[in-house]
Amino acid sequence: MSERNAILEANQRYSQSFGRKGELPLPPARRIAILTCMDARLDPAAYAGLQEGDAHVIRNAGGRASDDAIRSLVISYKLLGTQEWYVIHHTNCGMEFFTDDTMRSLLASSLETAVLGADGFEDVGKGPGSKAGAFVNWLTISDLRQSVIDDVRRIREHPLVPARIPIHGFIYEVETGKLLEIEEASIIGAAREGAGSD
């Protein structure tokens, strides 16, 4: 069975026992938003106990506070009323295994999937590649704990983010399924006092 058909079959089962989820309102019931990685091993609904309707979930490569993630967060509070945000990176993240230079060079060589060997990623494709990768900031991670701190700080300092929203920083352990708070990040991300009406 093709992946497309497998998805459609699973979706048919899901919709058949959909219950009253069609009545859920647009704004998140628990007023929270989570920014986390696209990694296949992460299921934020499962690891954080979210039901349909509870929370906005934003995901990209690394769970990084990119401009696009901040666009989404601003829509999340400004139009849909979320009041508390979580930045959740994770152990064994693919973003730790390469640099911008690696990625640019791999893409310039070919667009085929690279192979991860003992010496890092190697290209095995037969061109052509594209130089367009040189214009992308791949948002790689060199220190996992630091990336959580940096991303919480970037959101905290962003001119469109109100001071009253607390931003928590966590690491999810793919080995154990556990969430570990990064206190330094959560302190930086704390709502500022007297910020109730900013």
Task: Tell me the one-letter amino acid at 124.
Answer: V
Q: Give the whole-angstrom CA distance, residue 179 versus residue 66.
A: 22
Amino acid, res. 85:
W
Amino acid at 171: I
**Strand 32-37 relative to strand 55-60: parallel, antiparallel, unpaired?**
parallel
Looking at the Cβ atoms of 57 and 144, the one nearer to a second copy is 57
Distance CA 196, CA 79 (A): 18
Residues in region 11-70 near a second copy by CB under 8 A:
11-15, 18, 21-22, 24, 26-33, 38-43, 45-50, 52-61, 65-69
Least distance CB 182 / a second copy (angstroms): 13
Contact 55, 34 (CB under 8 A): yes
CB of 115 to a second copy, least distance (A): 9
Residue 90 touches a second copy, criterion: CB under 8 A: no
By CB under 8 A, name the one of 1, 119, 157, 193 that touches a second copy. 157
Contact partners, residue 39, CB within 8 Å, separation at least 6: 90, 93, 94, 174
Which parts of the chain fold into alpha helices (H)? 3-16, 44-47, 67-78, 100-109, 144-157, 183-189
Nearest distance from C-beta of residue 93 to a second copy, angstroms: 9
Using CB under 8 A, count the residues that bind a second copy: 109
Nearer to a second copy, 39 or 182 (CB): 39
3-state secondary structure of 118: coil
Among 87, 89, 106, 182, binds a second copy (CB under 8 A): 106
Binding track over 169-198 against a second copy, x by CB under 8 A: -----xxxxxx-----------------xx
